[in-house]
Amino acid sequence: MALSGTPPYAYPYHHGSSRGMTPKIQYRGAKSQATISFDDLPQNTFTAEHSIPQTEDVGPAYPTVVQQARNNMRKFDKCVLLTRVGGFYELYFEHAEKYGPLLNIKVAQKKTAAGSVPMAGFPFYQLDRFLKILVQDLNEFVAISEEFANDASGTVKSGGLLFDRRVTRTITPGTLIDEKFMDPYENNFLLALCPPGPGDLPHYSEIEKVPAELTKGSIPRPLMSTSIGLAWLDLSTGVFSTQKSTIGSLASAAARIGPREIVLVDDLEDAVKQSILGILEQHRHLVTYHSVPTQALSMSSWTPMLETEVPAELQSTFTNEEVAAGSLLLAYVKDRLQGLGIKLQPPIRRQEKETMSIDKNSMRALEILATSKGGMAGGKGSLLHTVRRTVTKSGTRLLRDWIASPSMSLQVINSRLDVVTLFLEDRALREDIIGLLRRSYDSQRLVQKFSLGRGDADDLISLLRTIEATNGIASLLKAHYNFSEVGSTMSSLDREHRQSLQHLSCRLWLEEPKALAARIADAIDEDGLLESHRIEETENANIVSMAQGVLQKEGSSDDQAAMSRLSRSKVKQKTSTDHEVEEEDAWVLRRSASPMLEGLHESLDGVRQNKASLMSRLREDLDAPSLTLRYTPGLGHYCHVKGPKDITSSLKKYGAARDVKTTKSTRAFHQSEWTSLGSKIDQAKLRIKVEEQRVFQLLREQVVVNLVKLRQNAVVLDELDIGCSFATLAEEQGLVRPVLNSSLDLKIVGGRHPTVKLGLEEQGRAFVSNDCSIGENERIWLITGPNMAGKSTFLRQNALICVLAQVGSFVPAEHAEIGLVDQIFTRVGSADDLFRDQSTFMVEMMETAAILNQATAQSFVIMDEIGRGTTPEDGIAVGFACLHHLYYKNRCRTLFATHFHALADMTKGLEHLACYCTDVAERPGGSFSFEHRLRKGVNRSSHALKVARLAGMKLWEPTLPNG
């Protein structure tokens, strides 16, 4: 067997080498032994006492492993420490006591000279499972201490220790790399914030003193416009971005990025710190502090961590804030990775002008990424969930990114729409591409593993499949935009659409990845790979049974119960046939992968041949046809004979033969020829393993050489996935292509709410479509009408249509013409906003003020029942002030829903303000229904009493008008 020395879930740092590449001496082909005895353990495990505690403490000392753990716990005091000991990860002392129960693993007491030490552990291949609980569920930081084999001098220096233990990485929620529990459909962003230095701050006295309970979660006004640097990355893909922003829009930026962890400099100005923490805590972000050495505050310090350097002329475009944030981010990551090399993509500067900004309230009120019930991102009912038809994981991640930051470029939007148009028209092409996409793998994350020096044979095969899929897609596309073939009958519009597709496919790199794919296919033996996985599983099962053996020998019955709970699913019942299995190999690389490998395999074949002839000679000489030549780590090479037949006399001829283990029906003995031949076989295998590693390393290097190209291809595939996804959606739901322009108008005919519509249809109810036409002519629509008549739905649906259009999707309408929207603002009156704990009137007013301060003529504002949290008189005053400001100052497109019909009278003189309303249809006999259809005019009756009665409330009759 070759690369399967380490079981599949092994953490790749074991013994300082990469996953699957360590020749492990204890490995032997397939299992030839039912259980491994305690004595077979490669190194002292948790029951063994080290005899040489080298500490200066007086009095009895801990065994070395425990002392090493104690030291690491001190050094990494914010982390839960996991210490690798043989086949296990162990927790000691207070960590064992605290986390043992949380991880549902048994806490045992280890007796040492210095008293008993609590400890708990799990088999190493379950690391991912327990990391998930610690990091993802409990939000803990974890330090992983690995074993490193000491060389001869190290062994002497350490007083005879075979292993040294060092922390190789600390893992936090924002620094996951390829952990199996990572959500494949979401980015795992780590965000660093760098607020301005003290000199750039507004003077403290300017910061208004508003009572704290009123401003909970809001920011003093002078700080709002203070600039701040953002830098964020996803270690699993290497995507790295920076942006200059302001403290005022931090909440929205954080909502858009959705980081798992946020890093802040530890020496922050108090006022700034309070504001920032206020914003972040509100959204339950996990905040970590870190300090950056000042000499690291430059872009040149980034270079070692990037796949390519940022050219000097580009460097100068980054602002100081961005450089500071990026430096903090990279310093933090470097510290977490403890020297593990990483190659990030060069940073991309995101600029606020390039994308539509959706403020955090809109993000939530419009349920763009998650539903307001606090659902998971992408949860059912959100816009993302409703429109998503992507088939790849990385495509889904990109879709999330697009939906959270719609484009402001007509060119970008139109070329995305062109692709959707083509895929909608040509269903066969779309289905073929989807088929190929399904066969591709998440190469963004795969390639990142290789950049970290990880990446195993399976990853290479996944890469191979992805490259094959990419080639397939490239030829499909090429056939499609090959104009000469389609002929001159094509319309110029069609030609334009095809050009967009051509631009997309021109970004694909084909030649070099093709060569890489060929090398992978030539080198890796997929059958051998499968076989080696089977063997790994058996080995893992053995570790568990070994641990059970240890516990049976040394532990209490509680320990055993815990262990068997842990392993029930893992341990396979061994069948007797295991004894019969001939020693077999599962080499991951083909013999032909290198001339050297070819030669080594030939010599292995040779010694194998010798083994076969030795065996038949022995069978004959000893007259023992059941004789086999075997190996176990405990017994070494030995001959095995079955059956009651006494061969003692014939054995005598072989004077050197020594009995090792004899039962009633079997006999095992050493035989010198087999012993020396056996070790030749071992050596031959070891040489093959070493050569396989060398070849494998070359393959990895080839992947790294192609890093940039593979990543670019992955992005193209992601975009195609989204294009197909939008086309599928458009076909399913009868969406239309929106027309985007740079006017200040918004014309939607027959618009529908994408998610409410689906919800109603599920209940068998029909959705009433509505038109919306705001802009130069009627800038503000003031909408009145009864409760439950669809005002809020109408407001939101128009905002969602703008978002979808600028993302590059078709939209739920009969026709849509949209002048680019630079920012969407949503303010929902506090009565509708109760799920927030701080729904005070003050917050509502501050957020409203923020909108009035920021909205431009290109913006789109929806205000839903503003001013509800106070008396009607005050509410009307607030509402009027807003309308006045929006009308005269912001001059932006606005939909304004209110119960205060007095506002309609107060705004009569405003030429570009129009009144619309929804209605209740009353039928003779007192029954009524909501029309949900918007018409011009004002509806002065709230019909609240009707609704109340509908809800089953008994109203006091004499107060009702007309009874």
Q: Which residue ranges make up the site for ligand ADP (CB under 6 A)?
A: 756, 760, 767-768, 770, 785, 787-793, 932
Residue 548 DSSP SS3: helix
Q: Which stretch binds Mg ion (CB under 5 A): 111-119, 148-156, 785-793, 915-923?
A: 785-793
Which entry of ligand ADP, Mg ion, none binds 787, CB below 5 to 8 A by partner kind?
Answer: ligand ADP
Residue closer to ligand ADP (CB basis): 563 or 789: 789
Listed residue (331, 360, 171) closest to 264, CA to CA: 331
Minimum CB–partner distance for residue 792 and ligand ADP (Å): 3
Minimum CB–partner distance for residue 756 and Mg ion (Å): 12
Residue closer to Mg ion (CB basis): 607 or 780: 780
Residue closer to Mg ion (CB basis): 8 or 879: 879
Which entry of ligand ADP, Mg ion, none binds 590, CB below 5 to 8 A by partner kind?
Answer: none
Q: Which stretch binds Mg ion (CB under 5 A): 483-491, 505-513, 784-792, 868-876?
A: 784-792
576 burial (CB, 10 Å; 0-12 / 13-18 / 19+) is exposed
Which entry of Mg ion, ligand ADP, none binds 789, CB below 5 to 8 A by partner kind?
Answer: ligand ADP
Which entry of Mg ion, ligand ADP, none binds 768, CB below 5 to 8 A by partner kind?
Answer: ligand ADP
Judging by DSSP bridges, how do beta strands 88-92 and 115-123 pair with one another? antiparallel
Rounded distance between C-alpha atoms, residue 76 and residue 690, angstroms: 35
Q: Which residues contact 564 (CB under 8 A, 6 or more apart)?
A: 548
Residue closer to ligand ADP (CB basis): 236 or 770: 770
Rounded distance between C-alpha atoms, residue 367 and residue 358, angstroms: 11
Residue closer to ligand ADP (CB basis): 615 or 760: 760
Q: Which stretch binds Mg ion (CB under 5 A): 179-187, 640-648, 680-688, 787-795?
A: 787-795
CA 127 to mean position of chain CA atoms = 18
Rounded distance between C-alpha atoms, residue 821 and residue 406, angstroms: 10
Q: Which of 792, 823, 826, 939 binds Mg ion (CB under 5 A)?
A: 792
Minimum CB–partner distance for residue 707 and Mg ion (Å): 51
Q: Which stretch binds Mg ion (CB under 5 A): 94-102, 455-463, 581-589, 786-794?
A: 786-794
Residue closer to Mg ion (CB basis): 256 or 791: 791
Residue closer to Mg ion (CB basis): 680 or 933: 933
Q: DSSP readout, 589-653?
A: B-GGG-HHHHHHHHHHHHHHHHHHHHHHHHHHHHT-TT-EEEEETTTEEEEEEESS---HHHHHT
Listed residue (241, 247, 259) closest to 318, CA to CA: 241
Minimum CB–partner distance for residue 81 and ligand ADP (Å): 52
Minimum CB–partner distance for residue 907 and ligand ADP (Å): 20
Distances (CA, A) of 179 to 135, 136, 174, 176, 706: 11, 11, 12, 6, 23
Listed residue (28, 31, 87) closest to 550, CA to CA: 87
Minimum CB–partner distance for residue 882 and ligand ADP (Å): 18
Listed residue (174, 513, 239) closest to 398, CA to CA: 239
Listed residue (144, 20, 18, 21) closest to 454, CA to CA: 18
The 3 state secondary structure assigned to 131-172 is HHHHHHHCCCEEEEEEEEECCHHHHHHCCCCCEEEEEEEEEC
Which entry of ligand ADP, Mg ion, none binds 788, CB below 5 to 8 A by partner kind?
Answer: ligand ADP
- Give the distance between the most distant pair of CA atoms in the chain: 122
HSE (side-chain half, CA atoms, 13 Å) at 679: 6
Minimum CB–partner distance for residue 943 and ligand ADP (Å): 10
Minimum CB–partner distance for residue 866 and Mg ion (Å): 12
Amino acid code (one letter) for 44: N
Contact 806, 821 (CB under 8 A): yes
Residue closer to ligand ADP (CB basis): 414 or 793: 793
Minimum CB–partner distance for residue 785 and ligand ADP (Å): 6
Which entry of ligand ADP, Mg ion, none binds 30, CB below 5 to 8 A by partner kind?
Answer: none
Minimum CB–partner distance for residue 788 and ligand ADP (Å): 5
Task: For tokens 């602002």, name the residue.
Answer: 319
Which entry of ligand ADP, Mg ion, none binds 853, CB below 5 to 8 A by partner kind?
Answer: none
Q: Tell me, by CB under 5 A, how many residues bind Mg ion.
A: 2
Which entry of ligand ADP, Mg ion, none binds 790, CB below 5 to 8 A by partner kind?
Answer: ligand ADP
Residue closer to Mg ion (CB basis): 397 or 791: 791
Residue closer to ligand ADP (CB basis): 253 or 861: 861
Which entry of ligand ADP, Mg ion, none binds 453, CB below 5 to 8 A by partner kind?
Answer: none
Task: For tokens 């753990």, name the residue.
Answer: 69
H or E segment at 265?
A: strand 261-265
Residue closer to ligand ADP (CB basis): 133 or 788: 788
Rounded distance between C-alpha atoms, residue 715 and residue 901, angstroms: 51
Q: Within positions 35 to 74, which residues make up the interface with Mg ion, using CB under 5 A?
A: none
Residue closer to ligand ADP (CB basis): 83 or 770: 770
Q: Within positions 485 to 524, which residues make up the interface with Mg ion, using CB under 5 A?
A: none
Rounded distance between C-alpha atoms, residue 347 and residue 330, angstroms: 11
Contacts 24+ apart (CB under 8 A), 674-678: 674/611, 674/614, 674/618, 674/629, 674/637, 674/638, 674/639, 675/636, 675/637, 677/607, 677/610, 677/611, 677/614, 677/637, 678/611, 678/629, 678/631, 678/636, 678/637
Which entry of Mg ion, ligand ADP, none binds 827, CB below 5 to 8 A by partner kind?
Answer: none
Residue of minimal CB distance from ligand ADP? 790
Residue of minimal CB distance from Mg ion? 792
Minimum CB–partner distance for residue 186 and ligand ADP (Å): 29
Minimum CB–partner distance for residue 774 and ligand ADP (Å): 18
Minimum CB–partner distance for residue 442 and Mg ion (Å): 41
Residue closer to ligand ADP (CB basis): 172 or 918: 918
Helices marked H in 51-207: 64-75, 93-102, 127-131, 152-157
Listed residue (110, 173, 166) closest to 138, CA to CA: 173
Contacting positions for Mg ion (CB under 5 A): 791-792
